[in-house]
Amino acid sequence: MLELLKAIKTKAINDSDLQTATAQSGNLTNGIFTVEAPTTATTPYIVINIIDQVFDRTFEASSDVKDSTVQFTIVVEAMEGSAGSTPQPIGVIRDKLVAAFDRQVLTYDTETHVGCLLEIESGPERFDNSWQWTLDFRIMYQ
């Protein structure tokens, strides 16, 4: 599971469109977190969580299929701004995240390929002093 999170985080960090949308000065490493963001995090940022994991057993132990739901939460302070502003509006960040992961295949080691499908999304929603948009992706791998 840690390798899966590492692969997803690496993909997000290396996606130039996603970096541009979040305006993290070319370094989304400071704006993407697993499990939760620190209290010192500045917006916009993205939090990644694996919220469930199901194993489909086969007769061959080495070919079990894993099916996980990975949740991305985009957090911004304000929804204002235009497509050219820095940082960009939450909807633009959402679109870049979907382009980076929906119907994409990731490879996180030489033999494991991960298929990603957007399944559920909710947002934008006001939460405390920020806006959030949550996207759940179904991740299938062997």
Q: What is the model's pLDDT at position 81? A: 55
Q: What is the model's pLDDT at position 26? A: 46
What pTM did the predictor assign? 0.81
For residue 43, give the amino acid letter.
Answer: T
What kind and span of H or E run contains 104? strand 104-107
Side-chain-facing half-sphere of 107: CA atoms under 13 Å: 3
Per-10-residue mean pLDDT, the chain, length 142: 78 82 59 84 87 76 76 82 58 90 79 82 86 91 70
Q: What is the model's pLDDT at position 107? A: 73
The pair of structure tokens assigned to 78 is 């304000």
Q: What is the model's pLDDT at position 131? A: 87
Q: Rounded distance, CA 76 to CA 80, Å?
A: 10
Full residue range of the structural domain in which residue 12 is found? 2-141
Strands 32-34 and 45-56: parallel
Domain count, the chain: 1
Q: 3-class SS at 96?
A: helix
Q: What is the model's pLDDT at position 88? A: 62
**Which CATH number covers residue 123?**
3.30.2000.30
Q: What is the model's pLDDT at position 128? A: 82
What kind and span of H or E run contains 27? none
